Chain A
Amino acid sequence: NAGVTQTPKFQVLKTGQSMTLQCAQDMNHEYMSWYRQDPGMGLRLIHYSVGAGITDQGEVPNGYNVSRSTTEDFPLRLLSAAPSQTSVYFCASSRGESPLHFGNGTRLTVT
């Protein structure tokens, strides 16, 4: 079982560039989510999805887009990167009453 797979592990962008963080899970989880983690602020929810074709905003959605065309995949898009988006990003998934299963994270630096 691969669990939750995030790619890439590290990324450096210049201000204004766009990119997509990939997230895939092989556990048939209907719930998927993206968090960012910044020092002293814990994990903050960016976007989440309760099933294919359904997405919604979390606490800090500005500057990010998501889509959920399949159960397995939940990519996070940065349309025009800003230094404030420098962070560690985690994808997580769950099903029913199971706990969240996390990916290993993507460390993003925007210069």
Chain B
Amino acid sequence: AQSVTQLDSHVSVSEGTPVLLRCNYSSSYSPSLFWYVQHPNKGLQLLLKYTSAATLVKGINGFEAEFKKSETSFHLTKPSAHMSDAAEYFCVVSDISARNTGNQFYFGTGTSLTVIP
């Protein structure tokens, strides 16, 4: 069975300091992994994706994530937080093997990022 755990429901950082949002997953197969961002009263936007290529994935707005199979983790990082990064972040696991038989996508419950000026 697949599942996603976002280890922190809220993270608060000062502007200019590093951001770390943690995500652990469980999957029976080789998963695809994604991070989405949702700004207040907006839809979900894809930040980055891992699909079995390079384990360090670079996304938009300076974010990156590293796939660590041994730790079943896919943590999201950014070297220097900006005020505009304040948003909700979702980690998502996709099981492509279930494409024709069932649900593919499993969401974490989200991490709310606050950036302090």
Contacts and interface: CB of A to CB of B under 8 A. Distances in A.
Interface residues of B, number: 25
Interface string B84-117: 0000001010101001111111011110000000
A99 B49 contact: yes
A92 B32 CA distance: 17
A50 B97 CA distance: 12
A96 B96 contact: yes
Interface in B1-58: 32, 34, 36, 42-46, 49, 51
Contacts of B102: 50, 56
What class of interface size applies to chain A in its complex with B?
20 to 34
B10 to A, nearest CB: 11
Given A41-B109, A99-B34, A104-B43, A31 B90 contact: no
B52 to A, nearest CB: 9
State the main secondary structure of chain A at its contact with B.
strand
Contacts of B46: 99-100
Interface in A22-56: 30-31, 33, 35, 40-43, 45, 48, 50-51, 56
Instruction: Give the one of B36, B49, B51, B103 with max A CB within 10 A.
Output: B103
Contacts of A42: 90, 107-110
A48 B92 contact: no
B25 to A, nearest CB: 15
Given A43-B90, A90-B44, A97 B103 contact: no
B94 A97 contact: yes
Interface in A55-111: 56, 58, 90, 92, 94, 96-97, 99-100, 102-105
A104 B32 CA distance: 23
Interface of B: 32, 34, 36, 42-46, 49, 51, 90, 92, 94, 96, 99-105, 107-110
